[in-house]
Structure 1
Amino acid sequence: MTTVLTTVLQVLLALTSIVLILLVLLHKGRGGGLSDMFGGGASSNMGGQSIAEKNLDRLTISTGLVWVVVIVLLNLLTRFDI
């Protein structure tokens, strides 16, 4: 049973890692970093965020939380050999 759970969590970790990378890359550059070097700062808008950006933020945060929970569960399974 534990090997099945471990395998499922490892697959979920891989999927959430890929999704999290893609979601972070979709965010608009805020300036002051590497995005300015490649011209991202020139189109930066100091106004409010759009609905799409707020939804992207929420999706990124929720995916990040799932990612962290999966890592903690995998660590607990490995440490205590449940």
Structure 2
Amino acid sequence: MEIIRWVLIGIIALTSVFTVFFVLLNKGKGGGLSDMFGGGMTSSLNSSGVASRNLVRLTVGTIVLWVVAIIAYALLLRFTAA
């Protein structure tokens, strides 16, 4: 069980970093912090609709994997605690 615990912690850490990275890569919709900190400068990077959709899918997939890992870790702690 100790190996599973460490694997889940690793997955949680990696998906946390990737989630922050992917969220920052996504194009801002305007009117928020993305405009305040120069969000308009990256508009040329996200000009492709397909690339933007794929980035959103990758972001959502990473977040779903993070949530599943958190739930699995909580269940592991709950049912293996003495």
TM-score of the pair, normalised by structure 2: 0.83
* Partner residue, 2:57: 58
> Counting helix residues as a fraction of each chain, which structure ranks higher?
2
Moved over 2 A (4+): 38-44
Using the TM superposition, give the Cα deviation of residue 37 of structure 1 relative to its aligned residue in structure 2, in angstroms: 1.6
- Name the CA shift for 1:27/1:5 in 2 (closer, same or farther; >3 Å): same
> Following TM superposition, by how much is the alpha carbon of 1:42 offset from its aligned partner in structure 2, in angstroms?
8.2
Partner of 1:77: 76
Q: Match for residue 9 of structure 1?
A: 8
Runs of 5+ in structure 2 lacking a partner? none
CA distance in 2, matches of 1:38, 1:8: 36
- Counterpart contact for 1:30–1:41, Cα < 8 Å: no
Q: Percent identity?
A: 49
Q: Which runs of 5+ in 1 are unaligned?
A: none
CA RMSD of aligned residues (A): 2.0
CA distance in 2, matches of 1:26, 1:80: 38
SS of the residue corresponding to residue 31 of structure 1 reads coil
User: How many aligned residue pairs are there?
Assistant: 77
